[in-house]
A and B are shown apart, each in its own frame.
Chain A
């Protein structure tokens, strides 16, 4: 034993003497939070010598002797000094990220970039926003989160799409929706190829329904041209980059999470309609009292049937989420499954989705990576059947009866839903205009319960990629397919409103859309002393093919199988089939250059060749330049103790828009049948000059951070001018078509955005943060060519006019009601007649002594003057609280439903506001004397109402019980309320209607949900 020890001592001495001459020091540098290796960290030691860590975060140096002091640094991390005294263990240095907004790495088009080097306007929305929301689609959670991003729901229908506008709308006839990119791969949703041609279905499925919000790690909103120009032809409306959750490298233990939520929804607002006795009294006073009610009988009618309540319900929604994330030495993986089942608050409506998502990445060889992203799912939406937009007098749609829900609101409250024996009541003596044949009238409760209006979408979003790093170069190839099969089912039986005239009508339609995409990029990254260069070049190709087919039949003898037995229909409509193909070839290039970590420049160029334009105009070229200056790094601000960062940004460039129908440049014909033979009708006339719509965009911005992350401010000013506007221009009779898509005119958007977020309290057990954003946008058509004053809409309610905003409302100015004793000779005539007491008064704006269509004026527009959001998070020990408000100010909305429900007559119910209509004894100015007819078909200012609102979008309370460490799971339970209240003067259900016309949109819901999240 003694000998052994002596030997050991001698060996140790020998080793020590050797170490005088050469000592190898090895170690690894990792991120303290994620455990991921830090590549390229600098390790400096004696006499200014240094090395950088390799791909695995490893370094090795030879020193003469120990101890040796190592200074370890990496951009965005706190530098650390480690003195090495012995080599008993491997050196493992954990660097902690500086919690500075500018040190965030943000996802940009075709790559990532440190925010400190960014020149563009990019806003990041983190996953907690989606975790706190019970919205089934991500747009529902984005509202109010980003300055300048305005989300307006199309309706309250579960799974319905929203309108998203980034810095206002640029275009009239081309799409204004932003481009979505999921995990670096364009999620292309062609707005022009969305339906199957079957019609008669009220709602369309939200394209974002294919993405489960809980799969999202972060969203980057690219707002200005420096950020969006790399997407060239599709960057004009802004770009939304979605990054899904991935396994974290170094996190060997798989993280398994399960979440369940259960919620109840009910309508957030009821319209105040007349009850049975009020309606019967109204009929007796002003109309013919068809029911023949006496005063006693009227009193006995009481409230009667509340048809609004009869078609609304308390709806149940539930969702299951399962996710598994993790990594191994050479791979990382994420898998999730989601099932959502959301009943709508209107009978027989709802949304179901199951969704599987996987994201796997392997390091096949040292420099070779390979990955697969795939989402497969199926969503199903049940909505309303619709009466379809037909602008002629006898159409129910033109009379404001757009669907069975609206029809329910119009049902006289003296009519019961059910007969005494419990069967549906199909007798309604007041209905004689649209939905009655003989003594058989339709019943909206039956309509909603028995009609079918389904959108079923099966989708696969997939791509595979491989990257190879060769020195400072990285080659990447990505190939992917987005494949969607949309099926639309429609059936209205013989007893329903839509099937009444045809003894039942049904149909089914399919659309198969396949979008193949290829991307090949070469990137180069190099740091040369004070210079940093990051360059990218590549080629991308997108090929889209969309086919559709639909068939409709009517006159059924057996309705049991509904749309699954269309052969039973005696009459067959002309089958609709079609194909649409398009290609987009693009060359992309970008160079980012940073000098002294202070001065940044980004130059981007994209050339797109689109098959959607005529041969001579297919290429579009989109350059941009961005500059930014990290002012805080200058010597003169070195002593500014409370300044974390200050950056100024300036960008400018061109982007384009090609979101128009395929073949719009060529002459085309539509098929039909006429007299038993096939027929063709000219659908479009060729335009050889059709070319890109181009938006020139400029942005001046500043990012400011103060007090060690306590306060962050982002301010942006922008100006955008869209030229060669793609506009449907009315055509002369000789052309054979009513309109043609042409490049006409300009639209300008200019605005200011401010976003502030602050940490109010940051203590160990008490953290409170708040953020607010505010945006103002001014939208104006600055040129309309020769086609000024294009009137649009079923009620001719909107106009495109130079000097006005897109979506401007156009109508008469309502001035009140002619009162008893008023000098009517001074009033302008209406339809050649002098108004009398009780008639509505309108402004004679052109002072020609008469009121007519020429007196119509701009009554506001759908463009809000201000959009804003506010959110706050409070964490107190195990409890967390989250509150989110969103608001809009200055926009107008045409309340077509309100106009319909204040139109008095002897068939339909009306709003209780008509009780305050003018009578000889009630000198009201709100509504004229009840009458079955209107003086004008034009809309007037009463129904172009303020759409300003402030909504409490979300209020969540969560609790994470403190469990023993040995417990194998963590738990969070929460309760959340959505749309708890809305402050608005709008008189309809909800001021958020994306089309700008509320013709009976599905009402929005207030939801209370409870949930649990378990993580293993």
Chain B
């Protein structure tokens, strides 16, 4: 049987929660933490080196990343260093009713801080509105930006991006 990721390109919550890169619900509730959505054994390991706290382990080059959710403080260093753009950051306690979702972004123009955007799920569908809180650009990130948007808490496990500009670059 093919997994949801293999069949559609969209991983299911069940697949993700089973993986060792996905933090537990308890940890998610505690504050900013990395969410690694890497489900296939491909030869890759830059996330290990990216983490200043040694919270990501990849046993051999093809092993799946394991997140030590107690070591992870949610700094986000791993986000632009994942070649697969598969690492996100979720801060469930951003405000009383909002969670902050940070994700890698490689389209132009980048959204403006403060603007209201269509927040999209893993299939690209706009499911709610988000408020752009941060746009991090850094030469070291090599044209991958880190965008942070605030969305209602109930969407914290679903929102993983924003609608890309039509005819964008």
Same complex for A and B? Answer no
Contact residues of A with B, CB < 8 Å? none
Contact residues of B with A, CB < 8 Å? none
